[in-house]
A and B are shown apart, each in its own frame.
Chain A
Amino acid sequence: MSIVETLLVYVGIPAAIYAAIAVLVFARGGAKPTRYRPGKPWAHEPVWYLPRPVSVARHAAVPELTAGASAAPARTARGGASGTW
């Protein structure tokens, strides 16, 4: 084997394998949402999830939800629980 061939086989191929593995490791996780850690601030807009409606007709009956300050409707809460961590 010539010097060039030796270099390609013994240096080029291992380097290519390392590069391929590095790409596989670091290519993922670009758009991964930040993991929650207790005590860290929560830098996200508030979200409100409702269960999927059984039918579309019922979905139309659900009023549009407004978070935050609005004209205070009658109090509907009757009980519940609170917790901190």
Chain B
Amino acid sequence: MAPGESTSAESPFSAKQLARLDEALTLSSRETRVQFSLYVGELGANPRGQAEQLHSGLGAEAPDSVLVAVSPGERRLEIVTGEQTAKRLPDRACALAALSMTASFNGGDLVGGIVNGLRMLADQAGKPSLTPR
């Protein structure tokens, strides 16, 4: 961000876009029992480290969580899986979703890319196993 430019506290998305994001997050999480969460904002000089730190901030939910961190200003996307979710979402599947998302982002479609990426991750994770954890 250019110096002297202030950040606005307003939501970067319209109500319609927020509804799409909410639906995508909620449906993929309920379908798979994986808690998907979405971070949109700056990731700093060490994006991977910052995203992993955010993931650990989820506390007890972290092993069952997948964090999708998007930094539109730095044109950077990070997908972080936890201990349980890494077994259901191998790095290769995450990379495929990341590729699809960045392709949309490059065209300026932030929300569409996020929604499609979540869809792909949820499809890959599949239904939870019947054995109780």
Contacts and interface: CB of A to CB of B under 8 A. Distances in A.
**Chain B binds chain A:** yes
Interface of A: 32-39, 41-52, 54, 61-63, 65-67, 70, 72-85
Given A43-B1, A78-B81, A36 B29 contact: no
Contact of B94 (A32, A44, A67, A79): A79
A69 B108 CA distance: 30
Interface string B15-40: 00100011001101110000111111
A45 B98 CA distance: 23
B41 A47 contact: yes
- Identify the 8 closest CB pairs spanning chains A and B, nearest first: A46-B41, A42-B73, A81-B94, A78-B86, A51-B29, A76-B62, A83-B98, A77-B52
A49 B72 contact: no
Contact of A76 (B30, B82, B99, B101): B82
A73 B73 contact: no
Interface residues of B, number: 74
Interface of B: 1-2, 5-14, 17, 21-22, 25-26, 28-30, 35-42, 47-48, 51-63, 66, 71-73, 75-83, 85-86, 89-91, 94-95, 97-99, 101-103, 105-108, 110
Contacts of B10: 33, 44
B105 A78 contact: no
A48 B91 contact: no
Nearest to A41: B1
A46 B42 contact: yes
17 contacts: A33-B11, A38-B107, A41-B5, A44-B7, A47-B40, A51-B29, A51-B35, A52-B22, A63-B58, A67-B39, A72-B53, A73-B59, A76-B58, A77-B51, A81-B94, A81-B95, A82-B79
